[in-house]
Structure 1
């Protein structure tokens, strides 16, 4: 999160997909209205750009020391299908160990089938929700973990 423009892009990119498929939940607004809290809490917010245009984003949220959630991954519909989501996810997987992650997980929804397939293709595995920190999202029905190596 390097600027107020990045914070706006993070919010706008995420609201676009959330409002298309679901209802915005209080936990969404808590994150989207203050993405700097992710950074202040030991995480990162990554913004993908084509030139100067923000086209995608993802957050690495530290839930507890060493426990990180992949959160708020979004790619503008105008730029989907060009590998931006894959690059964001690959970058997140590369970055999270440097943040001190011992555990890396996500919660998603089965309606987002292409996203779930992308997570699977890069090594995330399905786990029961009881194996992960509780999700604040009512829409969460897919729970996955990435096997970090020591």
Structure 2
């Protein structure tokens, strides 16, 4: 019988595995855009440790192995900023990305008021765009970064539960 994937808050002990997974997972993005200098491929261990200390970081574990991760924070305007969603290539297309997104959204909501969630991806990253659309994110803008790359910004509003009559 196979092991199940568990989603939890990242710990300091996960840092190296997260960085290695990020490096592996972003190879396809670098190839898609012909740019191996993208930040997920050049981030240092020290920089990632700093993010772990002041952001929400969620991981998916298969046994002791980190096979997925995503991070985010809530800005001063109440927008949950989501970044660096990555799933190990052998674990993709099984719903793990969506599970990670939902877990991060729940963590940010539990931490305080959030009016919307926002993230971005490259315009050629069709799998990412499909995933985000399937999770309720809608395109709100496109920003050209270079001749080869435009960032597509996507947002998902937070709907407050209806108040019950007293």
Q: Which bracket does the TM-score occupy, shorter chain normalised?
A: 0.7 to 0.9
More strand per residue: 1 or 2?
A: 2
Query: After superposition, what is the alpha-carbon deviation per residue over 1:42-64, rounded to whole angstroms, capped at 9, x for unaligned?
Result: x2110101121111000013444
Q: Which has the larger radius of gyration?
A: 2
CA distance in 1, matches of 2:83, 2:47: 14
Q: Work out whether 1:38 is the aligned partner of 2:48.
A: no
- Is the 8 Å Cα contact of residues 57 and 74 (structure 1) preserved in structure 2? yes
In the TM superposition, 1:53-72 aligns within 5 A as 53-64=65-76, 66-72=78-84
User: 1:50 — aligned with what?
Assistant: 62
Q: CA deviation at 1:68?
A: 2.4
- For structure 2, the 5+ residue unaligned runs are 1-9, 31-35, 161-166
- For structure 1, the 5+ residue unaligned runs are none
How many residues in Structure 1 have an aligned counterpart in Structure 2?
Answer: 142
Q: Work out whether 1:147 is the aligned partner of 2:157.
A: yes
| Gap change, CA 1:21 and 1:105, over 3 Å in 2 | same
TM-score by length of 2: 0.72
CA distance in 2, matches of 1:18, 1:63: 25
